[in-house]
Each structure stands twice: as structure tokens, then as C-alpha cells.
Amino acid sequence: MNDGAGIAPGSAPSLIPVCEVVVELGEPLDFGPTRDGARRFTPIVGGELRGMPGADAGEAVRGLRAAILPGGGDRQLLRAPRPGPGADAAPTVEIDARYDARTADGALIGVHAIGIRRVLSGESGRLGSTPPRVYFRVMLRLETAEPSLAELQEALFIADGVREADRVRHTVYRVG
């Protein structure tokens, strides 16, 4: 595993694929306009974290299989579209998702994902789809007490995102 030791100061970070995440979503609750923008809460009802067998990671992370537990959620803020020519037609969605997962042997993994999803100008912004021109990225913070998964707490992780009708798919990368 590349643990970051030996990285030259000032070198450009690399992205190392580590795992896949599929988050199953419940019916969103629209709070409507608040002082900060329109607020929406999307329940997280299940899903899975799956390590990538060939990943440059420890054996426990490569073989990771964890079920996402119901009870988490994504507390989203929808910012109004930018005005003006060439502006985005849909709101920018600020993502703040928190959820937990459990491995088959009972280890818990806490996940906090913060990010942005926005439709770029000229694309439709239908909820439930991620057209090719959608910027959807999150930063993941992972927490666990399981010693074999400690590396999940000792690096920065970012992920792409694909929104589907009732789920979100992420490929998670460790920043090297």
C-alpha cells in the first residue's frame, strides 16, 4: 500500500481508486426556502461499500464489503441558479451526507460526504439522472474503530458521483 511516505514535497497529488459505494435513497423531504436556500433531506435506506480487489490499499480495504445501514441521510442545500447568459439552468446542490456501514464481522464504518452536484449550462437538470455534463464530486471522511481498516482514517478521499433514480454510485479515490 502507498501510505504517503516517500512522497516528494511539492509533488502533485495522485488519485488511487480504492472502493465503490452504492447508496440507496428514500423519498426526499423538501423543506422549501430557508434563509440559506431551499433545503431538502434525502434519507439513506441502504447500499454497500465494496473494496476494489486490485487497489493499492491494505488487504482489509481491498476485500472490504460493508452494508450501508438505514437511518443516515443527505441534508442538501439547493442554491439558486446563477443569473446571466451561459449560466447554469438548475440549482447547485450542496451535499452533506452522513451514514454508517457494517461489515459482515460487525465492524462499523462512519461516512461523512460533503460535496457539490450541479448541472452545467445547456443540460437538463432532472432529479434522478446524471447527464454527461454534471459536476458531481464529494470529499469523504471515514471513521472506524476496526484496526484492520485504520488506513480509512489516515488519508483524504474524494469521489465522483452518478445520480440515478433511487441511488447514487461513487468511485472513491485516496489522494496520494
What confidence tens digit (pLDDT) does each residue in 68-96 have? 999 999 999 998 876 666 555 678 999 99
| Range in 63-67, 118-122, 136-140 the model is least confident about | 118-122
* CA proximity to 29, closest of 12, 42, 16: 42
Contacts 24+ apart (CB under 8 A), 118-126: 118/88, 118/90, 118/91, 118/92, 118/93, 119/88, 119/89, 119/90, 120/88, 121/86, 121/87, 121/88, 121/89, 122/89, 123/89, 123/90, 124/89, 124/90, 125/89, 125/90, 125/91
What confidence tens digit (pLDDT) does each residue in 33-57 have? 999 899 999 999 999 999 998 889 8
Q: Where are the domains of the chain?
A: 15-175
From the candidate CATH numbers 2.60.40.10, 1.10.1740.110, 1.10.287.3510, 2.40.160.20, the one assigned to the domain spanning 15-175: 2.40.160.20
Identify the band that residue 174 occupies on the pLDDT scale cut at 50, 70 and 90: very high
